[in-house]
Amino acid sequence: MIQVVRVGTKIGTDVRGQSCFTEIRNLGIRSIIDVKTARVYRLEGIEPDDASELAENLFADQLTQSFTVNYPLIKNAARLIEVAYKPGVMNPEAASIMKAAHNLGIDLDAVDSSTEYGFFGTPPDEDIQFICDRLLVVSKTVERIVIEPPTSLIISGKRGPITIIPIRRMSDEELMGLSKKREWHLDLEEMQILQAHAREIGRDLTDGEGETYAQTWSEHCSHKTFRARLIVNGVEKKPLIARIKGTVEKFGEGVLSAFDDNAGVIDFFAGQGLCGKVETHNSPCALEPYGGAMTGTGGVLRDIFGDGQGAKPIASTDIFCFAPPDLDPEKLPAGCLSPHYLLRRVVAGVRDYGNRMGVPTNNGSVHFHEDFRAKPTVIVGAYGIIPVDKCQKGKPRPGDRIVVIGGRTGRDGIHGATFSSGEMTDQTAQVNASAVQIGNAIEEKRAGDAILRCRDEGLIRAITDCGAGGFSSAIGEMGSETGVHVTLERAPTKYPGMSPDEIWISESQERMILAAAEKDVPRVLEICCSLNVEATALGVFTNTGRLVVMYENETLCDLSMDFLHHGLPQRVLNANWVRPEFEEPGIPVPSDWRETCRQILSHLNVCSKEPIVRMYDHSVQGTNALAPFSGVDHDGPNDAVVLTPILGKNYGVIISHGLNPILNLIDPYWGSVWAAIEALANFVAVGGDPREARLIDNFIWPYPDEQELGALDRSVDACVDVAEAFRIPYISGKDSLSSTYRGKDGTVIKIPPVLCISVFGKIRDVRKTISADFKEKGSAIMQVGLRKPEMAGSVYYDLHGIVGNNLPKINLKETVKTFKKLHRLIARGAILSCHDISEGGLFTTLAEMCFGGGMGASLELGYAREEKERIDFRLFNETAGGFLVEVRDMDVFEIQSSGIPAEEIGRTIASEVISVHNRGHVFRADLDELKEAWQKPMKEVFH
Amino acid sequence: MRPNICILRTDGTNCDPETANAFLKAGGNPELVHINQLRSGTRRLRSYQILAIPGGFSYGDDVASGKILAIELISFLHDELQEFVDAGKLVIGICNGFQVLVQSGLLPLNTIRIRYATLEINDSGKFECRWIKLITEKGSPCVFTRGYDSEITLPVAHGEGSFLVNTRWPEIGENKNCVALRYSEGGQPADFYPANPNGSLYSIAGVCDPSGRIFGLMPHPERFVEFSQFDNWRRESIAKPHGLQMFENAVNFAVDL
């Protein structure tokens, strides 16, 4: 018998109902005049009396809420719609309710919670349907509209058998059919290798074995393109990954771990190391942005927990690329979600996961270009701290135990790895519904706490997270040099009835695998138990070199580790980039300067992203020494975040990033140089020493055909050239090469190639870092760094609908010199404030410094320049690697004569205006109106 | 002697290290104690002089923020908690910890299980992470807010901080001096967004029980006990980080317990 408790608002505002009503109005629906909501709790195994007691003491707030038991709560609504999790989806609230009920002396057999919406007015069916699709069922993969109330909440099921795939006698056509049907995304050559292997060992493969190969050999897990032999315009070049790793071999000083663990580790202070890892989560977010962003954040944080012998996360970052939120719906390809919806839901996912984890999200950006409608780019980074003596994993030894800790295994997230390696089509949304899931941050938080305890007691030999490929990848990788024997039926599952191959490849979140000596296992289990974390010994490391997985004495897998990890031959790929030509007509100098300035500041790639940042808890852990925003009204943006991960000490870590997808469309070499220089400029602008910067690369590319592979080749060369110029290494990186959309009607849309460079590094004393807001009235404003009127790809050109060809070609040698000098000036206190010049140009940089400082500026651009230079190009050029700095008069001469490009261009003033002169008045604009234009776009999206 | 502080943690607690750091800096002896240790008896509340419930998302904010932990405290640990409070010891709840104290009835009137107030979803409907200004209430018996004469600034970071009270509040709450902190602007209580970041009634940011020894607040004083934690330390000179005094007050009071 199920008792149903409904809880609704008695006093105060029904916030959920009101926000739903507002969204309905935003959708343009006028048939509904009010929305009321109720929480619904279904309780199994108790009598109505007990349900009343729980309603009173647990579910309803005595002051503000009313409740009913087995009786409707919302009365007289035109329509009642109940939204619940699908059966089998783990409702994170259920465990808490069971626990609290038990504390109150009532034991439940099962519980579920859902939300009921009452719509008032005269809504026609199609309005209700539209609301359900767009607002109520936010993640179709995990939620549903309740039509028939359930008769029991207890899930039962009978597991499927282990099946044999007759691969040995399949034709090529059948092989490809198999790959497609099972969503393996392996090509014919790879399927043939698998077939040949089966013939060689004289037996067919089990479903579990086939799945293990598909997961391990997926582009997502094995990065086949980056490891491939690359023929560029007929000439073989070093594999992409080898070029990037080469930077560590050359400039690896202070690097404790690079490219061979879950995250890279660099030396910090006080016996600690810093870890960095940046991931993408594009495919899941394209389908189900909220769940995708949550699992993306959860996944990259697990990379930190799973680094070395376990690290503590200290920061997370998020960088997104979307189509403009107001994209014409006609332009949206079939099967793709609206960018407005994607942006809001991705932000909500990062917010809800990161905040619950207690990890500050404090560096990020959002970029817009229409072609991201093909697939959004969602980049999530995580940083951590780890004792130096724990930053290397041990090698599992035969006899060591395999322990799974954290969440249970369910049917969710099956085929995430192979799915992420495929292109987006109009069918992707339907076919891959099971590949996305929702996260449970609290599960991960307590598992993380347990890991750090185990680490501190020296109980962890090796650890890794269960990400793409689930157990199959995590255990397969960890035991690759020894062999493993897994007793799979021991794995705790969310419900009965999962077949062995499902358990083996499920990507259920919040699970970690660790290797522990047999004698340490009891203590590991004890620690986990004391923190409410489930932990189970799943198997043992062997010395057989084989991956053996048993399920109730049946063999699911018996594979050679050697063939699994080395059986895939290196690919040979051709690359050939052809330079595209864009139009670059002349444009007039603005007639209405103030309007142009407002347009620049309200451009999506320039405008303030503060409403997003305010929803992330960026001050948790108490480590922020430079916040994302500061200044008189706390709304002036800074270039990077500075953290003090050891409370009470002034040791700092600086984190920044850079990217410019639009420039990559014109020339991926110079676009990528721009991205890396921008990331480093952000690092230096706040006080970082460029010699301490360490780099992380993320390539998010269209499907690599010859043209795109050629573009990738140029981008990687640029990455390496910048690293060589600064003599600093890459310590981690990742690629995702599937951001092309193919529609049934032949439509092909490629995203602009994204290279995101993340930078992190240490600084001994955070008191030597600076912010971007102007500090004093009457200071000198100086421009530092080389600038040329190279306008292609700029926001200014975009206002005219132009892309252009003449893109910024940054002089690396000069830039290195400038950065080093600027760093020394900041370190000795000569710079009051500093802000780098990027999208929106010098004018935007100046405006942002004024907003933060609550004061104006007067520019005189004519001092040192030739008259023929266009003032609009001067103000809006976006060459990276330049800065505006605020200095006292007495320091101007020193900076001017320091051998780097530096000139005084104006002064800070008390009146809140920006006035620009070029040997004569050009224009003058009020800060208020500029700030309003700059803040408006994101306020409108996140009202 | 350094007083012992029980920093209570459970599933989803996440501000425990910085809260411990703040008490340590104030001269206390903080210990992170998991509620399972209290339940199993390996730790006893009576060994501590201060109970601090830090911020975070205890049990994922399931059902309502702070609810599940509050039930655990007032069911399983009811007697120990009552004894602790009756002994005149100090209790502070920050953010989620404040929600726990309100859900349990300890705040505002120290009436376990009987509720006079609640903390609702922010009026903006959103999580808000920002620096805000606060004034302390003159004549408040609150131990923690002693000695704060001028407007201070602290960060808030919460989605459910709108303090809402029973209709009898003016007669019971205000008369018993339960208000300890209010959101402010220019030294005056602020009833507008974002100075009042959540829409709290009467701009209430923190309350204490009539004895002044049980205190809860939405802002995070533990995030401003070092100079570098302030977002504007580069432009405003500060004599002492604004959150530190609250922890020092508690430690100084508890020394005599």
Given the residues A220, A485, A603, A823, the one annotated as active site: A220
Position A427 confidence tier, pLDDT thresholds 50, 70, 90: low
**Å from A221 to nearest chain B CA?**
31
- Say yes or no for a CB contact (<8 Å) between B127 and A631: no
Angstroms from B204 CA to nearest CA on chain A: 16
pLDDT at A63: 87
Query: Is residue B39's pLDDT more than 90?
Result: yes
Mutation choice for A interface testing from B124, B231, B244 by most A CBs within 10 A: B231
Instruction: Provide the 10 A C-beta neighbour count for residue A129.
Output: 12
As a whole number, mean pLDDT of residues A228-256 equals 95
Q: Summarize the confidence of residues A321-343 as an average pLDDT.
A: 92
Contact state of A644 with B228 under an 8 Å Cβ cutoff: yes
Judged against a pLDDT cut of 80, whether residue B193 lies above it is answered with yes
Q: Smallest Cβ distance to B234: which of A614, A771, A942?
A: A771
Mean pLDDT check: name the lowest of A113-127, A130-144, B188-202.
A130-144
The annotation status of A129 as a binding-site residue, yes or no, is no
Does A62 carry a binding-site annotation?
A: no
User: Burial level of B224, CB count in 10 A (0-12/13-18/19+)?
Assistant: buried
Q: How far is A138 from chain B, CA to nearest CA, in Å?
A: 17
Average pLDDT value for residue range A455-480:
93
Write out the catalytic residue numbers of B. 95, 220, 222
CB contact under 8 A, A622 and B34: no
Question: A869 falls in which pLDDT band (50, 70, 90)?
Answer: confident
> Which of A104, A615, A619 faces B223 most closely, judged by CB atoms?
A619
Cross-chain CB nearest to B126 (options A58, A615, A624):
A615
- Contact with chain B for residue A898, Cβ under 8 A: no
pLDDT surpasses 60 at A759:
yes
Of A15, A96, A627, the CB nearest to B231: A627
Predicted local confidence at residue A809, as pLDDT: 97
CATH no. for A770-942? 3.90.650.10
The minimal CB distance from A356 to the residues B10, B60, B120 is found for: B60
In the predicted model, what is the mean pLDDT of chain A? 93
Touching check for A104 and chain B: CB below 8 Å? yes
Distance from CA of A337 to the nearest CA of B (A): 23
CB contact A348 to B (< 8 Å):
no
Tens digit of each residue's pLDDT (9 = 90 or more) over A350-406:
999 999 999 999 999 999 999 999 999 999 999 999 999 999 999 999 999 999 999
Q: What pLDDT, on a 0 to 100 scale, did the predictor assign at position A428?
A: 53
pLDDT digits (tens, 9 = 90+) for A512-521: 999 999 999 9
- Residue A134 banded pLDDT, cuts 50, 70, 90: confident
Q: In the predicted model, is pLDDT for residue A430 greater than 90?
A: no
Contacts of A13 in chain B (CB under 8 A): 120, 123
A30 known member of a binding site: no
pLDDT (0 to 100) of residue A539: 97
Q: Where in chain A is the domain with CATH 3.90.650.10?
A: 206-237+394-568, 770-942
B16-25 and B244-254 helices cross at what angle (nearest 10)?
A: 70
Contact B118 A61 (CB under 8 A): yes
What pLDDT does residue A433 have? 44
- The CATH number corresponding to A206-237+394-568 among 3.90.650.10, 3.40.605.10, 1.20.5.50, 3.40.50.300 equals 3.90.650.10
Percentage of residues in chain A with pLDDT exceeding 90?
81
Rounded to a whole number of angstroms, the distance from the CA of B59 to the nearest CA of chain A is 6
- Cβ contacts of A99 on chain B, cutoff 8 Å: 59, 68, 72
Average pLDDT over residues A269-285: 93
Which pLDDT does position A422 carry in this prediction?
A: 63
Q: What torsion, rounded to 10 degrees, do the Cα atoms A675, A679, A681, A686 define?
A: 160
CB proximity under 8 Å: A 24-63 to B: 57-59, 61-63
Per the annotation, does A860 bind a ligand?
no
For A248-281, b where at least 16 C-beta lie within 10 A, e where not — what string? beebeebbbbbeebbbbbbbbbeebbbbbbbbbb
Cβ separation A532–B36 shorter than 8 A: yes
A contacts of B120 (beta carbons < 8 Å): 12-13, 15, 64
Q: Do A442 and B11 touch (CB under 8 A)?
A: yes
pLDDT, residue A503, reads 93
How does residue A207 score in pLDDT terms, banded at 50, 70 and 90?
A: very high
Contact yes or no for B129 and A613 at CB 8 A:
yes
The predicted complex's ipTM stands at 0.96
| Cα–Cα distance measured from residue A539 to residue A536, given in angstroms and rounded to the nearest whole number | 9
pLDDT over threshold 70, residue A46? yes
Q: Which residue in A12, A103, A622 is closest to B222 by CB distance?
A: A622
The residue ranking higher by pLDDT, A219 or A7, is A7
Beta-strand relationship, B90-94 and B50-53? parallel
> B75–A104: do the CB atoms touch at under 8 Å?
yes
Confidence band for A424, pLDDT divided at 50, 70 and 90: low
| Torsion on CA atoms A219, A734, A379, A143, rounded to nearest 10 | 30
Residues 127-146 of A with CB under 8 A from B: none
Active site residue A220: yes
A104: distance to nearest CA of chain B, Å? 6
pLDDT reading at A410 higher than 90: no
pLDDT of residue B135: 97
Residues of chain A contacting residue B12, judged by C-beta atoms under 8 Å apart: 356, 441-442, 445-446
Contact residues, chain B, for A771 at CB < 8 Å? 234-235
On chain B, the residues whose CB falls within 8 A of the CB of A831 are none
Q: Taking residues A17-43, report their average pLDDT.
A: 91
Q: Boundaries of CATH 3.30.1330.10 in chain A?
A: 239-393+610-769
| C-beta atoms of B229 and A442 within 8 A | no
Q: What is the mean pLDDT of residues A518-534?
A: 97
Which position has the higher pLDDT, A414 or A1?
A1
3-state secondary structure chain B: CCCEEEEEECCCECCHHHHHHHHHHCCCEEEEEEHHHHHHCCCCHHHCCEEEECCECHHHHCCCCCHHHHHHHHHCCHHHHHHHHHCCCEEEEECHHHHHHHHHCCCCCCCCCCCCEEEECCCCCCCEEEEEEEEECCCCCCCCCCCCCCCEEEEEEECCCEEEECCCHHHHHHCCCCEEEEEEECCEECCCCCCCCCCCHHHEEEEECCCCCEEEECCCHHHCCCHHHCCCCCCCCCCCCCCHHHHHHHHHHHCCC
> Which structural domains are found in chain B, ordered by start?
4-254 (3.40.50.880)
| Residue A79 CB partners (closer than 8 Å, separation 6+) | A118, A119, A123, A128
Contact B71 A58 (CB under 8 A): yes
**Is the confidence at residue B59, as pLDDT, over 80?**
yes
pLDDT tens, residue by residue, A294-308:
989 999 999 999 999
Give how far B41 is from chain A: nearest CA, Å: 13
What's the rounded mean pLDDT across residues A684-712? 97
C-beta of residue A286 within 8 angstroms of C-beta of residue A428:
yes
Is A279 marked as a binding-site residue? yes
A767 interface with B at CB cutoff 8 Å: yes
* Top-level class of domain A239-393+610-769: alpha beta
Is the pLDDT at A139 greater than 70? The verdict is no
Average pLDDT of the residues in A272-283: 94
Among A residues 527-586, those touching chain B with beta carbons less than 8 Å apart = 530-532
DSSP code string of A30-56: -SEEEEEEEEEEEEES--HHHHHHHII
User: Any known ligand binding at A697?
Assistant: yes
Which of the residues B38, B63, B76 would you substitute to probe the A interface, choosing the one with the greatest number of A C-beta atoms within 10 Å?
Answer: B63
Record the pTM.
0.95
